[in-house]
Chain A
């Protein structure tokens, strides 16, 4: 990474500032309810659309091998349909990646 300390601090200040303003402004300024159905619906869908675009395809390159990542993704999908809890899903996906990479090393 070639970012200077000054620029790094500027990035962090911008990140923190924008995130804080988004949280702070509505609860401080808006006293009435939002009635616009489109805006309400849009805000409802945003987190899901954001996370989906972040997961695919990046998850496939989050480990040492595309194959172990694919196995981890598969396990994450199956686990999240069985237990909705975040931690077991994450742990199982990590376990799957670890095992697949172990097998790949043995086969090689």
Chain B
């Protein structure tokens, strides 16, 4: 998958090649994003958000789980503080990826380029960038982020527009797409790791308990996710700390 054009242990790719390689590597991610963001756009419009705002969210956030929680918070009219906490907790994983990438950048990654290119850090873009045999430069990062950004924005627009004109039966069926994707992200790695299964089970159990127990106070969806994530992850980190060489 990753073409190695290495001689004498040094990369010989010039900047133009790096850009083209980045564009190419980003296409499969972009196609995947196109369909996922379609269901995001549809869902958000069904929640009552105007089309322009849904597209703006995708263009400025470029993340699935965070946006997904975000539109729930907006639709419920929850406090701004809840939005801050929810986005912080849900997207905290990007900081780990950001740290990892900071150890893997070449000399072209100057401060302005770090400021700009870090916008493109998503699960999939990180996975491809960190899988490169050589250090990652700014040209490659911009190129890699291009197709995913276009796919994510365009898919959102199409979903937001089509969500209004599609038959209810199709809307209902597509409503589960994003959740099914989350299942496909969580289950395969969890199946191979007992600690992960336990963390997942604890988070699910807490999520159900907090929503269905007759509590004396009302917790919003965003708060429930924050509590579940922090509690289950802290438990996992305390009982099953990851080994030094894995976990990233």
Contacts and interface: CB of A to CB of B under 8 A. Distances in A.
Note whether A and B form a binding pair: yes
B133 interface: no
B68 A54 contact: yes
A41 B244 CA distance: 9
B173 A23 contact: no
Contacts of A108: none
Interface in B39-82: 39, 47-50, 53, 56-57, 60-63, 65-70, 73-75, 77, 80
A62 B200 contact: no
B127 to A, nearest CB: 12
A80 B184 contact: yes
A21 to B, nearest CB: 9
Contact of A53 (B56, B102, B224, B238): B224
A46 B93 contact: yes
A86 B233 contact: no
Contact of B238 (A2, A38, A48, A90): A38
Contacts of B103: 33
Contact of A80 (B77, B97, B187, B242): B187
Interface residues of A, number: 78
Contact of A85 (B47, B115, B184): B184
Secondary structure type dominating chain A contacts: helix
Nearest to B231: A49
Interface string A50-88: 111111111100111100110011011101110011110
Interface of B: 32, 35-36, 39, 47-50, 53, 56-57, 60-63, 65-70, 73-75, 77, 80, 83-84, 87-99, 101-103, 105, 111, 114-115, 118-119, 121, 123, 168-170, 172-191, 195-196, 199-200, 202-204, 206-208, 211-212, 221, 224-225, 228-229, 232-234, 236-238, 240-242, 244, 247-248
